[in-house]
Chains A and B, each alone.
Chain A
Amino acid sequence: MTSATAHNGTEPTIVFPKQWKRRHLLDLESLTAEEITILLDVAQQLKEITQNCRRKVPLLTGKTCANLFFENSTRTRNSFSLAAKRLGADTVEFNSSGSSVAKGETFVDTAKTIEAMGVDWVVTRHGTPGTPHLLARELGCSVLNAGDGPHDHPTQGLLDMLTVRQHRGSIAGLTVALVGDIAHSRTARSNIWGLSKLGAHVIICGPPTLVSPRWTELGFEVAHHLDDILPRCDVLNLLRIQFERQRARPFPSVHEYAALYAMNGERMRKAKDDILIMAPGPINRGVEITPEVADGPHSVILEQVNNGIAVRMAALWLLAGANDRN
């Protein structure tokens, strides 16, 4: 599978990048800038080959992708399923409710059972950080992390970066602010690692109860007042407040949070003319973003969704290629 063709054996083709060796995609923290760039380049090519992720190309025919989701998900699971199907692979869906996990089976045993059915990739989402890493040690097939607690969500980080790159050509030199519930956000961490590796200046913004000062020790800019940093930003990524992960409410009220951090029309007037507004979704309209901004001309939220399929196709194809070469 070093190269493949679409359109019934005619142009265009895609060449497997020899530098790609990884069999698993567990987090963006451990990837190099080169590897991230390969993923983005391949995603871009696959997006074009599949005509905006709408056509099917038989790059992965005969392979099977298992979605092993131990936490609720709509967009990510469907996005992975579509990505696999667009490349001709079969999919197996697994939900933790009503399964053996509910009967006391450990998730490793569940994963091994699914693997024994003959799958090539396990796409997993779990509430505990490190569970994909644990599966990667226990399973023979490729493991893709579709979100492990607040730790990492590599394909989300990649699709955010792909979206920025499509609009700006390059990530390097841009100022990107991640705003909101950093403490509980895997999207934040994926963005932090991915963007910084590709040369962006990352600002982490939110109340001190959700933004640890330790990020400064790691070399990132921390801000608590959105209005102070807004004029400098090329991109804003507005993260959802994850009420379900919070043990104690980190701010007095949603009303107060919205007043301090919601991106609204008034704030848009203080921003750069070409600012990109992103949100990983699901969005809480009126909390982190008002409808006029979410649906406004600077919003690229729906492009992000489409790019999600592209980066997931890229990840599946690259991991399968590395596996076949071993």
Chain B
Amino acid sequence: MQQIPPSNLLIENGRLIDPSQKLDRVGRLLISDGLISAVDPSDGDLPASIQRIDASNQIVAPGLVDLGVEMREPGFEEDETIRSGGLAALAGGYTSVLCTSNTSPCVDSPGAVEFVRQKAAKAAGAKVHVIGCVSKGGEGEQMAELGLLAEAGAVAFSDTPKSMPNDALLKRALEYCRMFNLPIIDRPEVPDLANNGVMHDGQTALVLGLKGLPTEAEDLAVARDVRLAEATEGRLHVGPVSTMGAVDMIRRVKARGIQVSASVCPHNLCLSDEELRCFDARFKVHPPLRSQRHVETLRHAVIDGTIDAIQSGHMPRSREKKMNDLDLSPFGAATLETTLSTIITYLINQRSMDWMTAIDRLSTAPAKIAGVQGGTLKVSSAADVVVIDPSSRWTVDGNQFVSRCNSSTLDGCQLDGIVRLTIVDGEIRHDNS
């Protein structure tokens, strides 16, 4: 492949927001050789050859980082590929994503890690970091070769979207991972209690006669997870979470100084289970849309930092799979391209969250949890940057998505905020000017 030398970029007049250095002011950002080379450089310090970008009335922030995107390749390319998912991520303002291990074959061997890394390198999308399986075959029985996966480049371990069914295995894995200082990510759900549910177990499910996913299925799993994190002093990330009980538990263990992080999906911050009243499978997502009380609690928790990060929860599923009835349709929706706008529309523009907090939850915090580059505009760090036009409005149309999945809980909704540029290692990879 032909290497294009990274150029010098000067992004001018934009509002720079960087939670990693508490920076929020109009200024200019100089990018050289793939790195952030200066904030507010003087004219004399500018290189001779330079591409200037006017970002007046726009937000310039570290590119978004996602803690768990399903890329579906290998095995389910009808839903998404590493290339289409990586490009969808760019369109959504993401510069780095962690990709989940639930492919076929799953990512439980160094070769599988290498496959994803090579595919991602060719795709020129967002940076793709690999999550390895915790268990062999993702079956929740025996520990996978976590050390060899780490050596091959895995940055975290998870059997997501399955919760870890085996308490002893989770405990052992949390202990064992301490020597690599890598996190275990658990999507909390007790399978026996969740048994075949299709939506939040509440009043709406009762009226509609649909099988419910009870909140206690998540609450009990979170309780177990955080207790094991405390016992092992391992690095644990729980997420996405969706219940008041989960928030309550996480808040309490954090107050005791236990090292646990948590994330939430955008749909759980803006939509309630009432959406299912139309019986449309595009609202069959996981975690399920909960009742309004949970939505409100989650909003407060992500604003006050009890929940550290917002993750897209991108679970792409092909049109033919989603066209089914609510029992047969799989959980999932394309969210990479709507997450940022969802947060702008439902949180920032409702004045419940400020930009600094939003960028922290979408970029700085997840980068830190995953231990990957990004989430900062500090000098000498990788130039992973997003330029956002916060005031432009657009209408969500799943058929226009870069993702192979066209199913969206927000189809037809008007959202605020457009990703204008996504810059990865100093290279403009997505340009919507």
Q: Which of B42-50, B173-181, B204-212, B331-339 lies at the interface?
A: B204-212
Listed residue (B203, B208, B278, B326) with the most chain A CB atoms within 10 angstroms of its CB = B208
Interface status of B323 (Cβ within 8 A of chain A): yes
Q: Report B91 CB to chain A, min CB distance, Å.
A: 29
Interface status of A113 (Cβ within 8 A of chain B): no
**Given A129-B210, A247-B195, A106–B324 Cβ distance below 8 Å?**
yes
Q: Check A107 against B325 for contact (C-beta < 8 Å).
A: yes
Residues of B within 8 A of A149 (CB): 209-210, 327
Q: Which of A17-25, A130-138, A255-263, A269-277 lies at the interface?
A: A130-138
Interface status of B115 (Cβ within 8 A of chain A): no
Closest residue of B by beta carbon distance from A218: B203
Residues of B within 8 A of A133 (CB): 278-279
Q: In the complex, which residues 98-151 of chain A have their Cβ closer than 8 Å to any Cβ of chain B?
A: 106-108, 126-131, 133-134, 148-151
**Given A130-B279, A214-B202, A214-B203, A108–B209 Cβ distance below 8 Å?**
no
Q: Report B317 CB to chain A, min CB distance, Å.
A: 14
Q: Check B208 against A151 for contact (C-beta < 8 Å).
A: yes
Q: Check A189 against B209 for contact (C-beta < 8 Å).
A: yes
* The residue from A130, A150, A152, A186 contacting B325, defined by CB atoms under 8 A apart: A130
- Complex Cα distance A247/B193, Å? 11
* The residue from A106, A134, A150, A217 contacting B209, defined by CB atoms under 8 A apart: A150
**Given A106-B324, A131-B325, A152–B209 Cβ distance below 8 Å?**
yes
* The residue from B195, B278, B327 contacting A127, defined by CB atoms under 8 A apart: B327
Q: In the complex, which residues 188-232 of chain B have their Cβ closer than 8 Å to any Cβ of chain A?
A: 195-196, 202-203, 206-210
Residues of B within 8 A of A217 (CB): 203
Residues of B within 8 A of A189 (CB): 207, 209
Interface status of A37 (Cβ within 8 A of chain B): no
Listed residue (B207, B323, B325, B327) with the most chain A CB atoms within 10 angstroms of its CB = B325
* The residue from A106, A127, A129, A150 contacting B323, defined by CB atoms under 8 A apart: A106
- Complex Cα distance A171/B195, Å? 39
B-side interface size class: 10 to 19
- Complex Cα distance A152/B209, Å? 8
* The residue from A134, A186, A212 contacting B279, defined by CB atoms under 8 A apart: A134
Residues of B within 8 A of A29 (CB): 207
Residues of A in contact, count (CB < 8 Å): 25
Binary contact track A180-220/B, C-beta < 8 Å → 1, others 0: 00000010010000000000000000000000101101100
Residues of B within 8 A of A150 (CB): 209
Q: Report B327 CB to chain A, min CB distance, Å.
A: 4
Residues of B within 8 A of A108 (CB): 323
Q: Check B325 against A128 for contact (C-beta < 8 Å).
A: yes
Interface status of B379 (Cβ within 8 A of chain A): no
Q: Check B325 against A126 for contact (C-beta < 8 Å).
A: yes
Closest residue of B by beta carbon distance from A150: B209
Listed residue (A128, A150, A218) with the most chain B CB atoms within 10 angstroms of its CB = A128
Residues of B within 8 A of A215 (CB): 206
Residues of A within 8 A of B203 (CB): 214, 217-218
**Given A129-B208, A130-B208, A214-B202, A247–B196 Cβ distance below 8 Å?**
yes
Interface status of B413 (Cβ within 8 A of chain A): no
**Given A133-B279, A150-B209, A214-B202, A128–B327 Cβ distance below 8 Å?**
yes
Q: Report B364 CB to chain A, min CB distance, Å.
A: 41
Q: In the complex, which residues 320-353 of chain B have their Cβ closer than 8 Å to any Cβ of chain A?
A: 320, 323-328
Q: Report B410 CB to chain A, min CB distance, Å.
A: 19
- Complex Cα distance A156/B325, Å? 23
Binary contact track B233-250/A, C-beta < 8 Å → 1, others 0: 000000000000000000
Closest residue of A by beta carbon distance from B281: A134
Residues of A within 8 A of B325 (CB): 107, 126, 128, 130-131, 134
- Complex Cα distance A212/B209, Å? 12
- Complex Cα distance A192/B111, Å? 58
Q: Report B321 CB to chain A, min CB distance, Å.
A: 10
Q: Check B279 against A129 for contact (C-beta < 8 Å).
A: yes
- Complex Cα distance A133/B278, Å? 7
- Complex Cα distance A102/B126, Å? 42
Residues of A within 8 A of B206 (CB): 212, 214-215, 218
Q: Check A128 against B328 for contact (C-beta < 8 Å).
A: yes
- Complex Cα distance A247/B207, Å? 19
Closest residue of B by beta carbon distance from A212: B206
- Complex Cα distance A247/B197, Å? 11
Residues of B within 8 A of A129 (CB): 208-210, 279, 326
Q: In the complex, which residues 16-53 of chain A have their Cβ closer than 8 Å to any Cβ of chain B?
A: 29
Q: In the complex, which residues 164-180 of chain B have their Cβ closer than 8 Å to any Cβ of chain A?
A: none
Nearest 5 A/B pairs, CB to CB: A130-B279, A151-B209, A150-B209, A128-B325, A128-B327
With A129-B209, A217-B203 already in contact, 17 other A-B pairs whose C-beta atoms are closer than 8 Å: A106-B320, A106-B324, A126-B325, A128-B328, A129-B208, A129-B210, A130-B326, A133-B278, A151-B209, A152-B209, A189-B207, A212-B206, A214-B203, A215-B206, A218-B207, A247-B195, A247-B196
Residues of A within 8 A of B (CB): 29, 106-108, 126-131, 133-134, 148-152, 186, 189, 212, 214-215, 217-218, 247
Q: Can you list 21 A-B contacts (CB < 8 A)?
A: A29-B207, A106-B324, A128-B326, A128-B328, A129-B208, A129-B279, A130-B208, A130-B279, A133-B278, A133-B279, A134-B279, A134-B325, A149-B327, A186-B209, A189-B207, A189-B209, A212-B206, A214-B202, A214-B203, A217-B203, A247-B195
